[in-house]
Structure 1
Amino acid sequence: MILVTSAAGHTGRQIVSYLVAQGLPVAATDINEQVTKLPGIQKSFVGDLTDLKFQQKVVDAADQIVYIPPLFSPEEALIGKSLVDLAAKKQLQQFVFISVTHPILTTLLQHVAKRDVEEHLIYEGMTSQLPYTILQPMHYMHNFDVETVMRTGEYKMFYDIQSPIAYVDPQDVAEVVAKVIEEPAKHDKATYELVGTQPMSPVELVDQFNALTGQQARAEYIPVEDFLDGLNMQDLYLRAGFTQLANSYTNWGLDGNSNVLRMLLDREPTTFKDYLTRELAKL
């Protein structure tokens, strides 16, 4: 049984859907009750991964774990380290950690937490021989919400709209997860950076959207505090994380190299134009 955590989120849903489509047995867990409605799963668990007893419950149900961390949780590193320990104690067949490209960047709060979990997983892998694979996806394409841009004519962004960011299609990430899950020994102790595109600014993303749709949408900068207030996000840790994200992306952007993803997929990674075409077809 393959356990996928944070399975009701954007990335989790796509990974679960792909694994199920491959005929693999999937259990899904999330704090969001919508996880029970994911098509094709064999088991679901609704609960909080900060609860050690709940962690033990879901690990007991698994043979392999795809660990997607919770979004902007102050306990993210503790959750990940504890799951690694429980997986090693149970001698699971594989622990797949969905980390992030460049977890070494200390200007990004969520990167630092994932870096700490990566370190713990590597040490545990050497100590107990827990089979593991670390996947490091770049910024996900689904952060460009095609339906919202089509409806409003705006792509509102909380960092400099000229700053270049590389992207990856979450469906490409799901395909890599399936490959890794199906051959644990081949991918044991591997760390793979998953970058799909060259860096593009929000302005360039909107230009591609307009070229495909004939629309006249525009990228609009919105201060991060206003962005968070508009979504009624008042959690202090989440606000700190988004503020660091806004500052880091404005100052440096974020990029990487697509060679590893191309090798793993045995094809070219999905382009942003491909992603837009696919998402527009759903509207």
Structure 2
Amino acid sequence: MILVTGATGEVGRAVVDSLLAQGIPVRATSRDPARARLPDGVEVVAADLGDASAVAAAVSGVDGVFLLTGGSEIPLHDKTVATAAASAGVQRIVKLSSGRAGDDTATDPIPQWHRAGERAVRESGVPWIMLRPMGFMSNALMWAGSIREQGAVFAPYAAGRVTVIDPLDIAAVAAIALTSTPTGQILTLSGPEALSPGEQVDIIASVLGRPLRFVEVTPDAARAAIISHGVAPSMADAIMALRATALEDFTSVVHPTVPEITGRPAGAFRDWVARNRAAFA
């Protein structure tokens, strides 16, 4: 049995589906199991990842853990799960980390949180695999509202290019990593090409069959827009620091990990947009 945390999110749910397709029993954590809406056959247990006793019960009897945590509580939650997993004799942890966690010069919050989480997993003694994706294709969903209402995307860092990855590819790699990939590995994940925000908008326009505008805005304006959607200022700062890394060379590197692990090419951004067309139309 595999325990999946973050199972109701896009990546976590895809991991659940991939494991079920292989006939592997799945247990998932949720703060509110009644609202989890996971497939039949998934054992959903109530657990806040900061609650050591609830986490200990959740990891009891599982063979592996897919560890997906978010925000400033990443270090605490990763340590809580890893410690409980070690006590329960779990055979492996696959942690969804950040592509920048291995860069010691990255001192902004998100890589620091994941770096601390990775350290907690390693120190637990449980065999591990770290998944370090670059950007997510699904981040483009943040543009859906302005595309529908204004036919435009307003974003900073127009010159930045990122090898964004389809969340389904992350999940496919994770499912294999949870069952057969040798542990002790760091797997850096990317899509098949580096794209700027403007190039992504052009692809969305092509799929929708209508023109869209890309308008570069200042980082301050982008930060204000994030906060206007109810995000705390401190988290908005962390998001903006992550976005700024699109200007660095390493974010545009294509990594062969997805085809090496899954045996098929990484999905293209156009295919992701086509699959999610309704969100933008």
Asked if Structure 1 and Structure 2 have the same fold, meaning a TM-score greater than 0.5 normalized by the shorter chain, the answer is yes
1:52-201 matched pairs, under 5 angstroms: 52-60=52-60, 62-70=62-70, 72=71, 74-105=72-103, 106-125=106-125, 130-145=126-141, 148=145, 151-152=148-149, 153-157=151-155, 159-183=156-180, 186-201=181-196
Question: Does the residue aligned with 1:103 lie in a helix, a strand or coil?
Answer: coil
Question: Does the residue aligned with 1:167 lie in a helix, a strand or coil?
Answer: coil
CA contact (8 A) 2:64 2:92 kept: yes
- Could you tell me how far apart the structure 2 residues matched to 1:228 and 1:69 are? 20
- Could you tell me how far apart the structure 2 residues matched to 1:34 and 1:276 are? 31
**Cα RMSD after superposing both structures:** 2.5
Residues paired across the two proteins, number: 273
How far apart are 1:245 and its partner, in Å? 2.1
CA contact (8 A) 2:191 2:267 kept: yes
- Could you tell me how far apart the structure 1 residues matched to 2:12 and 2:35 are? 10
- Could you tell me how far apart the structure 1 residues matched to 2:216 and 2:57 are? 44
1:211 to 193, 206, 211: 206
Point out where structure 1 has 5 or more consecutive residues left out of the alignment.
none
1:166 maps to amino acid: T
CA deviation profile, 1:151-189 (whole Å, cap 9, x unmatched):
2323343x3133212211111111112212222xx4221
CA contact (8 A) 1:36 1:45 kept: no
How far apart are 1:3 and its partner, in Å? 0.9
TM-score (norm 2): 0.86
The answer for the alignment partner of 1:5 in structure 2 is: 5
- Could you tell me how far apart the structure 1 residues matched to 2:34 and 2:9 are? 9
Point out where structure 2 has 5 or more consecutive residues left out of the alignment.
none
- Could you tell me how far apart the structure 2 residues matched to 1:20 and 1:171 are? 14
How far apart are 1:250 and its partner, in Å? 5.1
How far apart are 1:86 and its partner, in Å? 1.5
- Could you tell me how far apart the structure 1 residues matched to 2:260 and 2:249 are? 27
How far apart are 1:50 and its partner, in Å? 1.5
- Could you tell me how far apart the structure 2 residues matched to 1:55 and 1:271 are? 37
Structure 1 ranges of 4+ moved more than 6 A: none
Question: Does the residue aligned with 2:162 lie in a helix, a strand or coil?
Answer: coil
Determine whether 1:42 maps to 2:42. Answer: yes
How far apart are 1:20 and its partner, in Å? 2.1
- Could you tell me how far apart the structure 2 residues matched to 1:265 and 1:257 are? 16
Distance 1:56 1:250, change over 3 A: same
CA deviation profile, 1:236-269 (whole Å, cap 9, x unmatched):
4423312322443356682333212221121211
Question: Does the residue aligned with 2:45 lie in a helix, a strand or coil?
Answer: strand
The answer for the alignment partner of 1:244 in structure 2 is: 241
2:179 maps to amino acid: E
Q: Percent identity?
A: 24
Distance 1:205 1:92, change over 3 A: same
How far apart are 1:150 and its partner, in Å? 5.2
Distance 1:243 1:142, change over 3 A: closer
- Could you tell me how far apart the structure 1 residues matched to 2:123 and 2:128 are? 11
CA deviation profile, 1:100-155 (whole Å, cap 9, x unmatched):
21313424311111112223333443xxxx22211112211111128546523233
How far apart are 1:93 and its partner, in Å? 2.0
- Could you tell me how far apart the structure 2 residues matched to 1:175 and 1:217 are? 32
Question: Does the residue aligned with 1:87 lie in a helix, a strand or coil?
Answer: helix
